[in-house]
């Protein structure tokens, strides 16, 4: 059974109140739904809340699923609606969404610690934080398309259908998002190169002291 059929079967069992089937469905789609919600809301906790509400909504309406689209598409549409409702409520209540850049997406694949040195693991984490920060700084329309297309690898058609925009608009927004990210990351690299292999400070003092201590007659 392919995933699409298996998803439909799990949702059918969910409609019959089989929580085990619903748990399997959630674990299968958690990563995608969180990332889409995170792209819209720009805040981990809010994204988690939106995904939870979306799942509850899906559970309540599991029996109404007609199979016109994939279950993954149906779930993604629900989480998009939940996220947008949250966003509108935040704006209406004048809630400032805090900037979060330390914690990575829940569904991100962990690095294989057995084959990666601590230094490499630290560098990977720092690069991820930098990339997430720059993605957060994209305009919402570009950010959402970028995550759906490049992170979750949804098709142009699926992204367009979920967002209710033409496919040409999806392509344009993705092109602009990539360009903005390249520009921002290039500036980061230019800034960082100034401090690459930094020599001043403790290292400088240590070398000078060692050399002086080794001079004859000193």
Kindly report the backbone phi and psi dihedral angles of residue 70, in degrees, each rounded to the nearest multiple of 5, phi listed first.
Answer: -70, 150
Angle, CA 201 vertex, CA 196 and CA 206 arms, to 5°:
110
- Give residues with Cβ within 8 angstroms of 3, minimum separation 6: 28
Tokens 């959630």 appear where?
A: 26
User: Sign of dihedral through CA atoms 58, 155, 100, 114?
Assistant: positive
- Judge whether 10 and 22 are in contact, CB under 8 Å: yes
Q: What does DSSP assign to residue 82?
A: H
Give the distance from CA 23 to its chain's centroid.
22
Q: What are the two backbone dihedrals, phi and then psi, of residue 155, each rounded to the nearest 5 degrees?
A: -75, 160
Q: What is the pTM of this model?
A: 0.67
Burial 36-68 (b: 16+ CB within 10 A, else e): bbbbbbbbbebbbbbbebbbeebbeebeebeee
* Tokens encoding 5: 């059929």
| Tens of pLDDT, residue by residue, the chain (218 residues) | 678 889 999 999 999 999 999 999 999 999 999 999 999 998 888 999 999 999 999 999 999 998 888 999 999 999 999 999 988 887 666 433 333 333 443 333 444 445 566 766 776 777 788 888 899 999 999 999 999 999 898 999 999 999 999 999 999 999 999 999 999 888 877 776 655 555 556 766 776 687 778 777 65
What are the residues whose beta carbons fall under 8 Å from the beta carbon of 66, sequence distance 6 or more?
none
């Amino acid at each position: 059974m392919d995933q699409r059929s298996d998803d439909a079967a799990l949702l059918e069992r969910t409609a019959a109140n089989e929580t085990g089937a619903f748990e399997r469905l959630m674990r299968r789609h958690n990563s995608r739904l969180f990332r889409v919600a995170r792209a819209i809301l720009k805040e981990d906790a809010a994204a988690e809340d939106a995904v939870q509400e979306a799942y509850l909504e899906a559970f309540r309406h599991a029996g109404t699923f007609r199979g016109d689209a994939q279950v993954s598409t149906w779930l993604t549409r629900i989480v998009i609606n939940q996220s947008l409702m949250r966003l509108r409520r935040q704006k209406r209540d004048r809630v400032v969404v805090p900037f979060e850049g330390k914690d990575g997406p829940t569904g991100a694949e962990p690095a294989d610690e057995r084959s990666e040195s601590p230094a490499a693991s630290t560098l990977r984490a720092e690069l991820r934080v930098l990339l997430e920060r720059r993605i957060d700084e994209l305009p919402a329309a570009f950010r959402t398309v970028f995550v759906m297309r490049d992170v979750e690898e949804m098709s142009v058609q699926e992204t367009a259908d979920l967002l209710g925009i033409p496919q040409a608009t999806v392509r344009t927004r993705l092109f602009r998002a990539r360009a903005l990210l390249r520009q921002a990351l290039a500036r980061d690299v230019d800034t960082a190169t100034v401090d690459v292999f930094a020599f001043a400070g403790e290292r400088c003092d240590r070398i000078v002291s060692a050399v002086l201590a080794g001079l004859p007659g000193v």
